[in-house]
Amino acid sequence: MHINLLLLVSCFSFVFSDSCSNCVNSGKLWCLQNSQCGDTTLACNTSITVPLNCPSPPQYGYDDEFMRSEIMVLTTAAQNENPQLCFNNQIPTMKLYKVTTANCSTVYNDVTCVGYTAYDTKRKVISISFKGAHGQDQIKEMTDNCVKYGLESYYTVTNGMIFKCIQDSFMLIWNGGMQADLRYLKYKYPSFELWVNGHSLGSSLAWAASAWIVNIGLYKPDDMKVVVMGSMRISDYNFAAWHTQTFSYNFHILHRSDPVAHTPTFVASTNTTLFYPKTEVWYNNYMNQGDPYQVCQEADGPFCSGSVDPKATQYIDHLYYFNIDLPGWGHAGCPMNISAYAQP
Ligand SMILES: *[C@@H]1O[C@H](CO)[C@@H](O)[C@H](O)[C@H]1NC(C)=O
Ligand SMILES: *[C@@H]1O[C@H](CO)[C@@H](O)[C@H](O)[C@H]1NC(C)=O
Ligand SMILES: *[C@@H]1O[C@H](CO)[C@@H](O)[C@H](O)[C@H]1NC(C)=O
Ligand SMILES: *[C@@H]1O[C@H](CO)[C@@H](O)[C@H](O)[C@H]1NC(C)=O
């Protein structure tokens, strides 16, 4: 009885996503509101044109409490030179292994790219996290390089492409120590899961890391949890589709009007249209405990964060996640009392 029910459920979801995918794959439009397939004359409020936007729920449930109490801490800890201070205050069984700081600038002496490895024998987890951009020099150089060099494919597992500026920065951290550190931890704790996370630039580096780790066969995607916050789009359609299909535990948390979701989606230097992988989770509020959120069934378009007016974005929504000033709280070592870090 139980098995029949499962079969029935998976059958339904298969048929559902399949009719939308079949529809758009045959060059037609899928109407989200009434589940009809038609040509361009189809009267419809929201037409789906690519399979990645065909509605489908994530394979794993989204757990607000887990993101808030664990992933937020791991992500924020990258802001502190000693991430262990954050762990001591919030998740004491988590132990820092090593921080890697790479010189990822050819121009500035105040620009570094940072990532760290950590492990938790209670949770049976190894975690890697990446720090966001700090300062205008880094944002400027990164933006210039992304625009100038566009996207490339780096993988044998997909022909999908990501920004060269992101892959280059990730590789400097990876080859600058993180690879050796992660291999050591994997050797020591071979059965542990791998969590990969970051915020802002750190989230883009985390996406690059997740893909690279699978590409070189270091971890199986089913043994990984990929969770990022406030990432810009870093990839073309094929990478986004591959990343979505590959990582069954894969969430991108976006806060209200965070401008990262509203930057241009076309890169002229390599003629690439950018896409987000699934699954976006969008909080249209302060992200306080108990606040509602939307687990987005589509990847990219007028859905969830995409429903915000691009002219109405606020940079402050990029810095505050779960109603905590992420850099400020991180610098302070993630103290228990978060009220001083709440969004104004
Ligand atoms: C399209 O949007 C209009 C206005 O929001 C609404 O009244 C109508 O029911 C929608 N149509 C469908 C098919 O959802
Ligand atoms: C990084 O290297 C560049 C030269 O490639 C140099 O100008 C810059 O000062 C270095 N930055 C740091 C933080 O060492
Ligand atoms: C850019 O990409 C579009 C869509 O894939 C294609 O039709 C067009 O020919 C490309 N243009 C150049 C200059 O490569
Ligand atoms: C938490 O911090 C706020 C602001 O700094 C302070 O007013 C409050 O007394 C603190 N609460 C506790 C329980 O320490």
| Residue range 57-341, CATH number | 3.40.50.1820
Please list the residues that pair with 95 across neighbouring strands.
119
Q: Report which DSSP code applies to 279.
A: -
Whole-angstrom distance, CA of residue 58 vs CA of residue 253: 13
Contact in structure between 186 and 193 (CB atoms under 8 Å): no
Q: What is the pLDDT of residues 154-205, one digit of tens each?
A: 999 999 999 999 999 999 999 999 999 999 999 999 999 999 999 999 999 9
Q: What is the mean pLDDT of residues 141-150?
A: 94
Q: Whose CA is nearest to atom 11 of ligand 1?
A: 45
- The CB of 138 under 6 Å from ligand 2? The reply is no
In 178-223, the DSSP E strands lie at 193-199
Q: What is the mean pLDDT of residues 302-320?
A: 95
Q: Whose CA is nearest to atom 12 of ligand 4?
A: 337
Q: What is the pLDDT of residue 40?
A: 79
Whole-angstrom distance, CA of residue 97 vs CA of residue 117: 5
Domain assignments of the chain as residue spans, ordered by start: 1-53, 57-341
Contact in structure between 255 and 325 (CB atoms under 8 Å): no
User: Would you say the pTM of this structure is higher than 0.75?
Assistant: yes
> Which of 104, 106, 111, 134 to mutate to test ligand 2, by most ligand atoms within 8 A of the CB atom?
106
* Ligand closest to the CA atom of residue 273: 3
Q: Which atom of ligand 1 is found nearest the CA of 34?
A: 13
> Which of 109, 114, 138, 168 to mutate to test ligand 2, by most ligand atoms within 8 A of the CB atom?
109
Q: Which atom of ligand 2 is found nearest the CA of 112?
A: 13
Q: What is the mean pLDDT of residues 312-327?
A: 97
The helix (run of H) or strand (run of E) holding residue 238 is helix 237-246
For the CA atoms of the chain, what is the radius of gyration? 20
In 175-263, the DSSP E strands lie at 193-199, 224-229, 250-255
**Ligand 3 centroid to residue 151 C-alpha, Å:** 14
- The CB of 35 under 6 Å from ligand 1? The reply is no
Q: What is the pLDDT of residue 39?
A: 86
43 phi, psi to nearest 5 deg:
-80, 115
Residue 335's nearest CA partner among 32, 88, 4, 167 is: 88
- The CB of 270 under 6 Å from ligand 1? The reply is no
Q: How many CA atoms lie within 13 A of 129 on its CB side?
A: 31
Asked if residue 217 has pLDDT above 50, the reply is yes
Q: In sequence order, which residues have a C-beta less than 8 Å from that of residue 287 and are 6 or more positions away?
A: 255, 293, 320, 321, 322, 323
| Residue position matching structure tokens 């080859």 | 175
**Ligand 2 centroid to residue 104 C-alpha, Å:** 8
Q: Which atom of ligand 2 is found nearest the CA of 106?
A: 5
Q: In sequence order, which residues have a C-beta less than 8 Å from that of residue 43 and are 6 or more positions away?
A: none
**Ligand 3 centroid to residue 153 C-alpha, Å:** 17
Asked if residue 18 has pLDDT above 80, the reply is no
Asked if residue 6 has pLDDT above 50, the reply is no
Q: Report which DSSP code applies to 123.
A: T
Q: Whose CA is nearest to atom 14 of ligand 1?
A: 33
Contact in structure between 213 and 181 (CB atoms under 8 Å): no
Whole-angstrom distance, CA of residue 61 vs CA of residue 72: 17
Q: What is the pLDDT of residue 41?
A: 78
244 phi, psi to nearest 5 deg:
-65, -45
Return the percentage of the chain with pLDDT > 70, whole number: 95
Q: What is the pLDDT of residue 4?
A: 46
Mean pLDDT for all residues in the chain: 93
**Ligand 4 centroid to residue 329 C-alpha, Å:** 14
